[in-house]
Structure 1
Amino acid sequence: MASTLEHIDIKGVKIPFIFEQDKRLPIVSMQVIFTGSGSIDEGKNIGLARLSAKMMNEGTLKRGSVGFADALDARAIQLSTNAGNETLVMELGTLRDEFDTGLSLMDELLRSPNLTKESLNKVKTRTMSDIARKEADFDTVASDELKAILFEATPMATPNIGTKESIEKIKLSDVESFLKSKMVLSNALIIMGGDITIEDAKKKATTLISSLEVGKLSAPRHYEVRKSPKESILKRPQTEQTYLYFGAPFAMNEGDSEFYKARVAMFILGSSGFGSRLMEEIRVKRGLAYSAYSRLSVAKTNTYFSGYLQTKLESGDEAKKSVIEVIDTFVKSGVTQSELDQARKFLLGSEPLRVETLSQRLGRTFSEYYQGKELGSSLQELEMIRGLSLEELNDFIKRHNEITQLSYAIVTK
């Protein structure tokens, strides 16, 4: 059966419930997603959302970190929590016969997570180590700097892992307060699928999250990208090449009816890898980089165009000039019929690979719901791609000349 959307009523709150039955394998998976609970909702405590999610992976007060992990491993149960920009997600995956045990352990975790000073110090130490490693990864350094430029003075400007200074300041009470205010029914959404009936799935989901408080729905947020170009050059004596990251605004919101055109345009420009404009011009014709990519990010909280490449230290200026030329030409002249045909062929032909697994199908249904679209709109989008004309696509590209207003984050020696 296809993924469906229903609602379950708990304490007067209608919780979205996305479900798909799949009996091909004896497994069941479940996600409890708390919207409005990611890094953009952590206030001044940068890194709090991600650190709080890590604390939920430290087991329960009763069993501790090791005891809880042993209980999961003994039944081959996968249970983890993670946080992104907009959401905090608890995910459970088990064999069908172990699903009740997995739910019992998940319930124990929700009711009594191991929020102790000892666990906090352990998670902080690991986070500090992760931050130190990222400081030596110049791709990450350049990427973070680009976001700092594009989203200056907003929560999007800081890495969701936090900084050494911000992590050091986080207290156990901050974690407790964040989890208590965010992991509530008003923010909850449930995704379930596998070898289970929808009636049984709804019953088990209702029992699991009934212990949560109603709480308060997190307010929606959206952050605009800077309009005026800016450049930041970071000098790192250890690097042996130049890392060039670039980005610009893109006038589109999540759920936009013309997103399918953007998908085709961005595929041709830089997201398709070999054969894309950026790759052909910068790598193949000019030999300035091993790879060059660009992409479009469209989410509830932000929309922006970005890309990157690495080049020789002495080729940085030439590579930057090439990026400008490729994007300017793309906007002014559009694409060719051959490029459109190839993009259409790939996007339509690769569709079965994007819905091959249960998790992919459930993820797609969630995306459609979260973006405010009708279920099944992804298939409608493919039909619109099938009928897209060269004139329509090039008109769309020319209308989005804001992508030429490029800002840069450059790491070099």
Structure 2
Amino acid sequence: MGATIKHINIKGIDVPVVFEQDKSLPILNLQLVFANSGYIQDNKNSGLASISAKLLNEGTKKIGSTRFAEKLENSAISLQSNIGFETFVIELSSLKDVHEKALVLLKDLLKDPNYDKKVLEKIKTLQKGSLKRKENDYDYIASQNLKKILFKDSALENPSLGTEESLSKINLSDVKKFLTNALDINNLIIVVGGDFEYDEIISKIKKSLKVLNADSKNSSKEIKTVSQTQIKEIKKDTQQAYIYFGSPFNIDVKDQNVYMAKVASFILGGSGFGSRLMEEIRVKRGLAYSAYGYISMNKTYSYFTGYLQTKLESADEAKSLVETLVEEFVKNGVTKEELDSAKKFLLGSEPLRTETLSQRLNRAFTLFYRGLPQDYNKKELEKIESLKLEDLNNYIKSHKEINKLSFSIVRR
């Protein structure tokens, strides 16, 4: 039947609901998505959103993390919080038989988070330990340094996990303030599916959510990718080079030509061994162990990015080849064979993207979140199927900003 978009009123606020009934399994699948409430709201407290989500995974103040976890485990209920750049998400799943207990536990958690100094210090210690281990994760280092180049002076410049210094400064009042502002009904989008009638399940969810505040709405603004090309190198005792690269790609998620950007991205670097980057850099020249690139399109930002892992002695040649390949891609476009191959894959793999309830709900949410109609994907596939080579190549040529490549490299 597919997902539908409805609205319910909670404390005078119309809250969007993405709903799909699925009778194939007796389950409840619920996500509370709080928009503009991810680490985009960290401000100067880098890592605050991540720490706050982890604290919400520590049960209630009344019974503590261990007993709360036992209650979940005894009924095979999953209740987890996580963050993205733009969103703070609370996920709840259970069998239908215990969904009422699951919703009561959700209500308890929202009403009484485990605001305890010892719990916070434990979380911070574990997060600092994770950051310590990442000192030898050269993919992480190269990736973070690239973001510092591309998104300078914006929220995306800072790592979602924070830094040891920023984590040390976070206190309990910071977490309370963050969660109070984030978990507000004004920011809420409900995503729910399972073996339920809409009215039946939504009335129960509504009872659990009345404990939330309805005071203010978080906002966001567009983040521009830095167009000035830069190279940042870090020397480490490594046996290979880690090369991350990126550049502006100016597009809005509601742009009518997004489908062409997807096809171009697939051909340039997103299709594995069939992509230009992989074929030219690894297959033909053997310069890299892996080579990928793609156009990332989000509500608040968009850019082209990719990465290579090469032998130390091949790093410079591989880097130069990336610049040449991207330049040639913009100048000459793609071949008919590449377009036909991309069409075949993108059209043929579509059923795999909507096999599960979770996949369908996530797609329906993404479309709603981006302000797109629910039949958007169907129409997009029709556009891809009828896409002409000349139109695609003209589109690619219009995005010369992709040539303004910056590089973040870790090597010896």
| TM-score after normalising by structure 1 | 0.99
The answer to whether the aligner puts 1:373 opposite 2:372 as a matched pair is yes
Q: The residue matched to 2:329 in structure 1 has which SS?
A: helix
1:12-411 maps to which residues of 2 (within 5 A)?
12-236=12-236, 238-411=237-410
Q: The residue matched to 1:126 in structure 2 has which SS?
A: helix
Cα pair 2:181 2:218 within 8 Å, conserved: no
Aligned residue pair count: 412
Cα pair 1:34 1:87 within 8 Å, conserved: yes
Cα pair 2:142 2:243 within 8 Å, conserved: yes
Cα pair 2:241 2:310 within 8 Å, conserved: yes
Q: Using the alignment, how far apart are the partners of 1:215 and 1:338 within structure 2?
A: 55
Q: Using the alignment, how far apart are the partners of 2:252 and 2:111 within structure 1?
A: 37
Cα pair 1:243 1:308 within 8 Å, conserved: yes
Identity across aligned pairs (percent)?
49
Q: Using the alignment, how far apart are the partners of 1:116 and 1:49 within structure 2?
A: 17
Cα pair 2:252 2:297 within 8 Å, conserved: yes
- State the AA in 2 paired with 1:82: N
Q: C-alpha offsets along residues 50-89 of structure 1, whole Å, 9 cap, x if unaligned?
A: 1100000001112211111111000000000011100100
Q: The residue matched to 2:272 in structure 1 has which SS?
A: coil
- State the AA in 2 paired with 1:75: S
Cα pair 1:221 1:300 within 8 Å, conserved: no
Q: The residue matched to 2:296 in structure 1 has which SS?
A: strand
Q: Using the alignment, how far apart are the partners of 1:4 and 1:215 within structure 2?
A: 28
Q: Using the alignment, how far apart are the partners of 1:298 and 1:363 within structure 2?
A: 16
Q: Using the alignment, how far apart are the partners of 1:253 and 1:134 within structure 2?
A: 33
Q: Using the alignment, how far apart are the partners of 1:227 and 1:287 within structure 2?
A: 30
Q: Using the alignment, how far apart are the partners of 1:75 and 1:88 within structure 2?
A: 25
Q: Using the alignment, how far apart are the partners of 1:205 and 1:103 within structure 2?
A: 7
Q: C-alpha offsets along residues 239-284 of structure 1, whole Å, 9 cap, x if unaligned?
A: 1111111000001012111100000000000011111000000000
Q: C-alpha offsets along residues 145-176 of structure 1, whole Å, 9 cap, x if unaligned?
A: 00000001111101110000000110000000
Q: C-alpha offsets along residues 104-152 of structure 1, whole Å, 9 cap, x if unaligned?
A: 1110000001110011011001100111122211001000000000001
Q: Using the alignment, how far apart are the partners of 1:332 and 1:293 within structure 2?
A: 20
Q: The residue matched to 1:246 in structure 2 has which SS?
A: strand
- State the AA in 2 paired with 1:139: D
Q: Using the alignment, how far apart are the partners of 1:212 and 1:312 within structure 2?
A: 53
Structure 2 runs not aligned, ≥5 long: none
1:191 Cα deviation after fit: 0.4
Q: 1:11 corresponds to which residue? A: 11
RMSD of aligned Cα (Å): 0.7
Q: The residue matched to 1:290 in structure 2 has which SS?
A: strand
Structure 1 runs not aligned, ≥5 long: none
Q: Using the alignment, how far apart are the partners of 1:253 and 1:239 within structure 2?
A: 39
Q: C-alpha offsets along residues 20-46 of structure 1, whole Å, 9 cap, x if unaligned?
A: 000101111100111111111121100
Q: Using the alignment, how far apart are the partners of 2:185 and 2:388 within structure 1?
A: 45
| TM-score after normalising by structure 2 | 0.99
Shifted more, 200-209 versus 89-98: the winner is 200-209
- State the AA in 2 paired with 1:61: K
Q: C-alpha offsets along residues 274-317 of structure 1, whole Å, 9 cap, x if unaligned?
A: 11000000000110011100011111221110000010111111
Q: Using the alignment, how far apart are the partners of 1:59 and 1:229 within structure 2?
A: 46
Cα pair 1:28 1:193 within 8 Å, conserved: yes
Q: Using the alignment, how far apart are the partners of 2:253 and 2:171 within structure 1?
A: 35
Q: The residue matched to 2:330 in structure 1 has which SS?
A: helix
Q: Using the alignment, how far apart are the partners of 1:115 and 1:376 within structure 2?
A: 43
Q: Using the alignment, how far apart are the partners of 1:297 and 1:266 within structure 2?
A: 9
Q: Using the alignment, how far apart are the partners of 1:242 and 1:371 within structure 2?
A: 37
Q: Using the alignment, how far apart are the partners of 1:15 and 1:220 within structure 2?
A: 19
Q: The residue matched to 1:274 in structure 2 has which SS?
A: helix
Q: Using the alignment, how far apart are the partners of 2:73 and 2:219 within structure 1?
A: 38
Q: The residue matched to 1:93 in structure 2 has which SS?
A: strand
Cα pair 1:296 1:306 within 8 Å, conserved: yes
Q: Using the alignment, how far apart are the partners of 1:318 and 1:338 within structure 2?
A: 27
Q: The residue matched to 1:161 in structure 2 has which SS?
A: coil
- State the AA in 2 paired with 1:54: K
State the 4+ residue runs in structure 1 displaced beyond 4 angstroms.
none
1:346 Cα deviation after fit: 0.3
1:220 Cα deviation after fit: 2.3
